[in-house]
Amino acid sequence: MTGENAQPKASHYIGGQYVEDTDGKVFESLYPATGQPVARVHSATDAIVEKALASARDAQSAWAETPGFERGRILLKAAEILRKRNDEIARVETLDTGKAIQETLYVDAVSAADNMEYFGHLAATLTSEHIPLNPTSFAYTLREPLGVVAGIGAWNYPIQVASWKAAPSLALGNALVFKPSEMTPLTALILAEVMTEAGLPDGLFNVVQGMGDVGAQLVSSPIVDKVTLTGSVPTGAKVMASAAESLKHVTLELGGKSPLIIFDDADLENAVSGALMANFYSSGQVCSNGTRVFVQDGIREAFTQRLIERTTAIKLGDPLDPDTQMGPMISKRQAEIVAGYIAKGLTEGATLLTGGERQTVSGCEAGEFITPAIFSALRDDATIVREEIFGPVMCLLEFSAEEDVIARANDTEFGLAAGVFTRDLARAHRVITKLQAGTTWINNFNVTPVGVPFGGHKRSGIGRENAEAAVAYYSQIKSVYVEMGDVDAPY
């Protein structure tokens, strides 16, 4: 290991402690800015996966019987520890992902803590229904956990994804085995340490490392009752097909190609801010990004000019430098995918207004820095308008009429997010109700507070994370009919 170091004590976390199995294939976490390894971990062997699943199964029933307010108290303590360790977690998240420290200090562990806090409070307040039937009978419902949850994460928001799955799972009495993306193995382990320190009984939150095959092993395990995945649409389809064999519950948070519609009457600076936040945060590696920016005729010239001014001022650099606004792509492979789309945009005849070039950053020569790109003169059927790129590439599209832009915005297989900028609130609500997306914004973009349900329509996902909506996806209802009179039988 050279330079920065974020080596964990061991690769996996099972039964409340770090566990190693050096028989598993070694892989490295590379600091994307320099390409230097910051940690080495071993992929989980079959024995490790089985140990984690058994540990979860064995711990779950006592946890299910623990009163909600006691479960909640542990999550609240976890939130407190996450906040105390925020800066340290931000640094590891930056080393693992290459995201600018000015983002990770304020978003990643903060979002994890918010989630623990929200579901900690919620666990204490969950009640059930009493259903009066007649003078001699009534019914009530019990909200029960599902059992063992397998969580599988993407690489762009590692601790956030892990905690968005852990907090509702644990609040509702489930146990979890989580597999982070093999590119970002580190902060899920820190979350596991935090949960133990907060008082979570051993075995309820386990982390196993590995690639897709380890994820697939979790999904097909008979011990697992529910699978929750954040990832791409093709992986979501595979996970759902595998889960279907044993009819497991499934939550899928998948990709998108979301529309952002800017009407003539929008506040110019806010609309430009919205478009920037919808495209360039985390170097564009955000699932809900509004990468199809539809701009109405009357504001187009002023919007485009201001957008280019502010885009060209974005400072790329070493992500650990607090002045850096945008880091590199997570990997060489992701950079090649993005560069491939930029080349495709050009060959399909689009105009590149700015960016889209590889930039060398002093001290980080091996990092894959791509300047934020804006394309215009696009057809709706261009490849870069239709496919998720997962990089800093914005597509500007022109429109005149409201009805026309709604149809074009909906003309996609995805439905994760959508946004509208206008001062006319009647129009804003009218348009939003017609957009086919699970998470939408009026006069903002990409803000995801824990109290608001998050998830996709169409091929962008199934189920919801965050808010009370998540309760339905991490628990099941038992109806109890109670008879106090005689049983009425015709025999």
Please state, in angstroms and rounded to a whole number, the distance separating the CA atoms of residues 384 and 405.
18
Counting contacts by CB under 6 A, is residue 182 touching ligand NDP?
A: yes
| Stretch 381-400 residues interacting with ligand NDP (CB under 6 A) | 388, 390
Indicate which single residue of 93, 108, 253, 318 sits in contact with ligand NDP (rule: CB under 6 A): 253
Please state, in angstroms and rounded to a whole number, the distance separating the CA atoms of residues 20 and 26.
11
Catalytic residue, chosen from 165, 179, 226, 248, is 165
Q: List all residues 6 or more positions away from 29 whose beta carbon is below 8 Å from its beta carbon.
A: 6, 37, 38, 39, 40, 41, 95, 96, 183, 184, 185, 186
Selected range binding ligand NDP among 128-136, 146-154, 346-354, 401-409, rule: CB under 6 A = 146-154
79 or 239: whose CB is closer to ligand NDP? 239
376 or 446: whose CB is closer to ligand NDP? 446
Helices (H), 250-387: 268-277, 297-312, 332-347, 383-386
Q: Does residue 165 have an active-site annotation?
A: yes
DSSP structural state of residue 455: -
**Tokens 């382990």 sit on residue:** 189
Selected range binding ligand NDP among 17-25, 247-255, 292-300, 336-344, rule: CB under 6 A = 247-255
Answer yes or no: are the C-beta atoms of 129 and 141 closer than 8 Å.
yes
Catalytic residue, chosen from 117, 179, 287, 395, is 287
CB 26 to ligand NDP: min, Å: 14
Per the structure block, which two tokens stand in for 369?
């820095």
- The helix (run of H) or strand (run of E) holding residue 206 is strand 205-207
76 or 150: whose CB is closer to ligand NDP? 150
Counting contacts by CB under 6 A, is residue 211 touching ligand NDP?
A: yes
3-class secondary structure, 317:
coil
Please state, in angstroms and rounded to a whole number, the distance separating the CA atoms of residues 292 and 313.
21
Counting contacts by CB under 6 A, is residue 103 touching ligand NDP?
A: no
Counting contacts by CB under 6 A, is residue 280 touching ligand NDP?
A: no
154 or 339: whose CB is closer to ligand NDP? 154
Indicate which single residue of 287, 335, 382, 406 sits in contact with ligand NDP (rule: CB under 6 A): 287
Counting contacts by CB under 6 A, is residue 102 touching ligand NDP?
A: no
Counting contacts by CB under 6 A, is residue 466 touching ligand NDP?
A: no
Counting contacts by CB under 6 A, is residue 470 touching ligand NDP?
A: no
CA separation, residue 172 to residues 54, 115, 268, 393, 440 (Å): 19, 13, 44, 39, 27
Counting contacts by CB under 6 A, is residue 326 touching ligand NDP?
A: no
| Stretch 158-177 residues interacting with ligand NDP (CB under 6 A) | none
- The helix (run of H) or strand (run of E) holding residue 334 is helix 332-347
DSSP 52-100: HHHHHHHHHHHHHHS-HHHHHHHHHHHHHHHHHTHHHHHHHHHHHH---
Answer yes or no: are the C-beta atoms of 461 and 252 closer than 8 Å.
yes
CB 414 to ligand NDP: min, Å: 9
Counting contacts by CB under 6 A, is residue 230 touching ligand NDP?
A: yes
Query: Which residue's CB atom is positioned nearest to ligand NDP?
Result: 215
3-class secondary structure, 126:
coil
Please state, in angstroms and rounded to a whole number, the distance separating the CA atoms of residues 53 and 176.
8
**Tokens 């996609």 sit on residue:** 412
169 or 181: whose CB is closer to ligand NDP? 181
Counting contacts by CB under 6 A, is residue 212 touching ligand NDP?
A: yes
Indicate which single residue of 11, 43, 235, 412 sits in contact with ligand NDP (rule: CB under 6 A): 235
How many of the chain's residues bind ligand NDP (CB under 6 A)?
29
Please state, in angstroms and rounded to a whole number, the distance separating the CA atoms of residues 149 and 248.
10
Selected range binding ligand NDP among 29-37, 57-65, 88-96, 211-219, rule: CB under 6 A = 211-219
Q: Does residue 20 have an active-site annotation?
A: no
Counting contacts by CB under 6 A, is residue 117 touching ligand NDP?
A: no
Q: List all residues 6 or more positions away from 439 whose beta carbon is below 8 Å from its beta carbon.
A: 288, 416, 417, 418, 448, 452, 453, 454, 455, 456
Counting contacts by CB under 6 A, is residue 76 touching ligand NDP?
A: no
Q: Does residue 253 have an active-site annotation?
A: yes
Per the structure block, which two tokens stand in for 418?
């959508």
Selected range binding ligand NDP among 106-114, 123-131, 251-259, 400-408, rule: CB under 6 A = 251-259
Answer yes or no: are the C-beta atoms of 19 and 208 closer than 8 Å.
no
Most distant CA atoms of the chain, gap in Å: 88
Counting contacts by CB under 6 A, is residue 154 touching ligand NDP?
A: yes
Per the structure block, which two tokens stand in for 386?
């239709």
Q: Do the bridges between strand 17-19 and strand 26-31 make them parallel or antiparallel, or are there none, so unpaired?
A: unpaired
CB 69 to ligand NDP: min, Å: 29
Counting contacts by CB under 6 A, is residue 8 touching ligand NDP?
A: no
**Tokens 């199809």 sit on residue:** 292
211 or 314: whose CB is closer to ligand NDP? 211
Query: Closest Cα partner for 395 from 436, 440, 344?
Result: 344
Catalytic residue, chosen from 182, 253, 368, 388, is 253
Selected range binding ligand NDP among 101-109, 153-161, 292-300, 396-404, rule: CB under 6 A = 153-161
| Stretch 420-459 residues interacting with ligand NDP (CB under 6 A) | 456
**Which residues are known to be catalytic?**
165, 253, 287, 465
Query: Which residues contribute to the site for ligand NDP (CB under 6 A)?
Result: 152-156, 179, 181-182, 211-212, 215-216, 219, 230-232, 235, 238-239, 253-256, 287, 388, 390, 416, 456, 461
